[in-house]
Structure 1
Amino acid sequence: MTFAPMPDQLATERFLLTRERATDADWLAELFTTRGTGVVTPAMAQERIAGMHALTRDHGIGAYVLRPRDGGPPAGYAAIVVGRGTVEEPELAYELLPEARGRGYATEAARCVLGAAFATGRERIWATVRTWNTPSLRVLEKLGGFRVDRETTDDDGVVRWHVREERTVSP
């Protein structure tokens, strides 16, 4: 099946969501390092940016940087990626810098990105969240429409698979 590409830019009340730029490497490295899985360098973040650009070029999905409309620094990202899903049934992902958490930014951006993903013709979007990640689980709850499909376990613990389905209407 062929899907329309997602737009290069999206907008919410508080953010312009744009594709990642090479100049985003420093703050992305900081964000990825806050995960606690090791230090991520700007060069490593550049590799991630290149990978997202390839995903966008090849499949029309990818990451959007949350750029505040007031000109402040980026707050994080929201994305539609393959992740644990597929190109046909991709995964919603979002992540914020620590100072941007707890303000509804992830919900606002994820709602916008999710709508754009369904507008491509996709009918099913996944979100996989570790059971301990209460803030991300709250985002899915606020978005509405997600249901738990199953749980799996890997070396890092339990992953809860959430799915949202939206049937598109054929012309």
Structure 2
Amino acid sequence: MAAIRGLGTLETERLVLRPRQVDEAATYRYLWTERDPRVPPHRRIDADGRPTVAEIAALIEDEPGLLAVQRRDTAEVIGYCGLTGYGSASPDEQELAFELLRAAHGRGYATEAGGAVVAWAREAGCPRLWATVWDWNVASRRVLEKLGFHETGAVVAESVHGHSLATVRQF
């Protein structure tokens, strides 16, 4: 199969997943401020306030496979979901990633958004997806389980704050 291409706008009953826009960088930076303190320091706002909104804006263009998750009823951007390996030479290297604002947690949005991306990947001919999740992140582990991912038993990264577990979803 050729590299996955064509990831554009996806729609669900309650959500629109569409390419992220630079002018939404403040929302994505806010996600960084809400991250659990057990998340490794390089993925949180540091003592100098970095990454800044401008630095987050620059990252948006470098991650074309991550889509804005926007509520249909309010048009509010509540996070992102998509494929971090998007455009890579190997379709086996597609990683599902999602993160939502805390105010959006517990409403099934992550499962709904993730389901749309998983369905798209399956239809595009991707043979499998993978994802990593911290062992303490029970909510995200449950979302991945609902999406058909299985924990492999492999630990991708370890820190004083826990283990990052590998999961996979075969088609």
Distance 1:111 1:70 in 2: 19
In the other structure, the counterpart of 1:56 is: none
Q: Deviations over 1:24-80 (max 9, x none)?
A: 111111112222422432112112102113xxxxxxxx0111111113421111111
Q: 1:63 aligns with which of 53, 63, 66?
A: 66
- List structure 1 segments (4+ residues) > 6 angstroms apart after TM superposition: none
Higher normalized contact order (CA 8 Å, seq sep 6+, divided by chain length) = 2
Matching residue of 1:169: none
State the percentage of identical aligned residues.
35
1:74 aligns to what? 77
Paired residue type of 2:167 = H
Separation (CA, whole Å) in 2 of partners of 1:76 and 1:82: 18
Question: Alignment partner of 2:122: what SS?
Answer: helix
Q: Which residue of 1 aligns with 2:122?
A: 118
What amino acid is aligned across from residue 43 of structure 1 in structure 2? A
Query: Could you tell me how far apart the structure 2 residues matched to 1:30 and 1:75 are?
Result: 10
State the number of aligned residues.
156
1:75 aligns to what SS in structure 2?
strand
Which residue does 2:26 correspond to in 1?
A: 26
Aligned mate of 2:165, from 155, 160, 163: 160
Provide the rounded CA distance (Å) in 2 between the counterparts of 1:80 and 1:119.
14
TM-score by length of 1: 0.83
> Equivalents in 2 of 1:148, 1:47: separation in Å?
33
Q: Which amino acid counterpart does residue 129 of structure 2 have in structure 1?
A: I
Partner of 2:63: 52
Q: Summarize deviations over 1:105-131 as a string: whole Å, max 9, x none.
A: 000000001111122211010011110
Amino acid at match of 1:108: E
Q: Is the 8 A contact 1:29 1:44 kept in 2?
A: no
Distance 1:137 1:86 in 2: 28
Counterpart of 1:10? 10
Q: Is the 8 A contact 1:3 1:121 kept in 2?
A: no
TM-score of the pair, normalised by structure 2: 0.83
Distance 1:160 1:2, change over 3 A: same
RMSD: 2.0
Distance 1:126 1:4 in 2: 15
Contact 2:69 2:113 in 1 (8 A): yes
User: Counterparts of 2:6 and 2:114 in 1: how far apart (Å)?
Assistant: 14
Show structure 1 runs of 5+ residues with no match.
Answer: 54-61, 167-171
